[in-house]
Structure 1
């Protein structure tokens, strides 16, 4: 009797983790990874600025789940099988130590993603997993014998007993057309984790200035996030903006990425406390110039720009400041508004909101309910997290679960 053939479509984090787990769990199986690109693990290589943000040091699964705008229910069921603690142990058992940074992100102590890439490649090699590149799948069909036929873009056909789809996310619906029709519909895919284009922003000349703590929100919605904001030559980026783009992904897509962004540069203060603080500072620093005296610890270039936009000149002193410019400054500080007219891909962390509906899969195995022998893992599912290692954790968790069951 010939050994079981498991085909894994996608040579990314979820694909490799699923293939490795399958080969370890079912040692008699023959496992093949098919990757359409010329190289594998490309996202692993570039993530975290080339350091690979492997996971997040959030070892309470209830807290971990709060970092997933979509897929919380799916992961809640799976994390007890393989969570962030298990990820750390898995890599350490293979000689890769991870370190935790102040914000909770975890990286290899070597500070290079090649450590993670090499670990996965070496483990796959030791398990005799066949890794094939430049092998995109054109169609996937189920034959009467119960086998899967994979028709490659090269014209070749491959027969497999089980298939794991770990192709990552696609931001356009037609890109899912090669998949067998699911019992549950595809969740319409839209981008997540992107930056905001604001071509008319008066802050564009300040590209590179980082603000440690600000609140960003989309007017007309309840969507708001707080954290670091980065000023860019096209608009705004940084953790708070990326989180906002993730949680508001569907609402922003419906608006065609044209909306009003509100920024509160002093999120610890409300309108009343801010104006009181400005008045108090004015009384105590009357002889000093407004632009040179920043009461809120903002970057000096940002403070100067906000003051200038409020009609305050470079030489104006606090004591001479009329009520109207002072009021305009307060409004700029707590309620700056910018017209966003598009998005830019945050290439290192870009993910897709939407994809294969988890409701169409068995919740404990990630096997298709309508197509036995077909499994899914990673971002191709309608599961996505914010930045900080959460999307890789989804890849490790779902890849592990699918790999553990794919040979049964």
Structure 2
């Protein structure tokens, strides 16, 4: 049986970050990462379209936590310990400067996730952290004050066990056997599948400022909306998918949404349309796009309001004006299913937050068992927030282990 001071299950973002920080603060400890794949850091590789969205330029803990549908309350304390600014400083210190995009997302200046991967692998090598690939963990159990771990490649024993295995159902099962409550995983970042004449044949069209409600729920979001080949995406939709992860799963991803494309009320919009009728009398409605909407979307909504491409503003009757106002401010769409958002598969679910001490990220049920990253029931909207949870948890684990 191989003995190590610290064993980390999972060679992803949280696993490497924990290992490096533990080794830096105490170079005498023997540390091993057990990774089931033939290489680690796969999510880091594909994140942000291969650029790695390391974190988000939000520097106030109270504001940062609002991006976590699950974990908002629990992460407030941890973010006071290790936060966005600390992440930036940590990477800069390792020779990996980050940059901020207009939407607040932060990437390495190199625009390549390989920079982050190389940084982790180099640090691990320098600090003599043993990274063992193709080690699938089959079991772990508490024996006295130690943990024994069985893998497909051999057996290990350690004083401190860190679980950073992401959303791995097999590891969740093993934790369940130890008495931990695991909240059933459901997808958390996904796009909406919608078949509707009004958005057919216009993929790539973006409406910049929409408000979306999921009917019969309290779910609501604002932001850009992207029309895709299969339905709708972009931040406004992804936010709904994250905050509504459990509720929308219970509905089997069949529900209705109401979209306000222009952020004016029905009545205000109607009044403005009446002015257009007067001022643009001789022009066709179809060709005179209003409200800064993309032309192709405007034309689809015009046709859905019971008029044709030759209808002039002057000829609009009361019903047509109301129809158009309704399409612009309260358009209802049927969602029938979901699609994974890029390759960035994020799940809601994992170790029950009530069973974790958030001062240390240690299990409340078992001493010397720690958690970092997505293995716990924390998830965030898109934009670098899931990684920030991984860095923060892993850093606090490293401090707790050394204390």
Q: Deviations over 1:90-145 (max 9, x none)?
A: 000111111111111111111111111111111111111111222121211122x3
Structure 2 CA distance for aligned equivalents of residues 343 and 138 of structure 1: 33
Alpha carbons 2:373, 2:389 under 8 Å: kept: yes
Task: Determine if the alignment matches structure 1 residue 163 to structure 2 residue 161.
Answer: yes
> Which residue number in structure 2 is paired with residue 151 of structure 1?
150
Task: Determine if the alignment matches structure 1 residue 275 to structure 2 residue 270.
Answer: yes
In the TM superposition, residue 73 of structure 1 has moved relative to its aligned partner by 2.0
> Which residue number in structure 1 is paired with residue 312 of structure 2?
317
Task: Determine if the alignment matches structure 1 residue 102 to structure 2 residue 102.
Answer: yes
> Which residue number in structure 1 is paired with residue 381 of structure 2?
386
- Residue 148 and residue 180 in structure 1: after superposition, are their counterparts in 2 closer, same or farther (change >3 A)? farther
SS in 2 for 1:74: coil
SS in 2 for 1:313: coil
Q: Any residues of structure 2 matched to 1:3-402 within 5 Å, and which?
A: 4-143=4-143, 145-152=144-151, 154=152, 156-170=154-168, 176-179=172-175, 181=177, 185-200=181-196, 202-267=198-263, 269-402=264-397
- Residue 384 and residue 201 in structure 1: after superposition, are their counterparts in 2 closer, same or farther (change >3 A)? farther
In the TM superposition, residue 188 of structure 1 has moved relative to its aligned partner by 2.6
Alpha carbons 1:14, 1:377 under 8 Å: kept: yes
SS in 1 for 2:187: strand
In the TM superposition, residue 261 of structure 1 has moved relative to its aligned partner by 1.4
SS in 1 for 2:65: helix
In the TM superposition, residue 5 of structure 1 has moved relative to its aligned partner by 2.1
Alpha carbons 1:149, 1:160 under 8 Å: kept: yes
SS in 2 for 1:340: strand
For structure 1, the residue ranges without an aligned partner over 5 or more in a row are none
Alpha carbons 2:176, 2:182 under 8 Å: kept: no
The aligned length equals 402
SS in 1 for 2:80: coil
Structure 2 CA distance for aligned equivalents of residues 182 and 328 of structure 1: 59
Structure 2 CA distance for aligned equivalents of residues 402 and 358 of structure 1: 15
Range with bigger deviation, 12-21 or 130-139: 130-139
Alpha carbons 1:264, 1:335 under 8 Å: kept: yes
Alpha carbons 1:184, 1:359 under 8 Å: kept: no
Structure 2 CA distance for aligned equivalents of residues 182 and 141 of structure 1: 8
SS in 2 for 1:290: coil
Q: Deviations over 1:320-346 (max 9, x none)?
A: 122222211111111111111111111
Alpha carbons 1:139, 1:179 under 8 Å: kept: no
For structure 2, the residue ranges without an aligned partner over 5 or more in a row are none
TM-score, normalised to structure 2, is 0.96
Structure 2 CA distance for aligned equivalents of residues 281 and 326 of structure 1: 10
Q: Pairwise CA RMSD of aligned residues?
A: 1.7
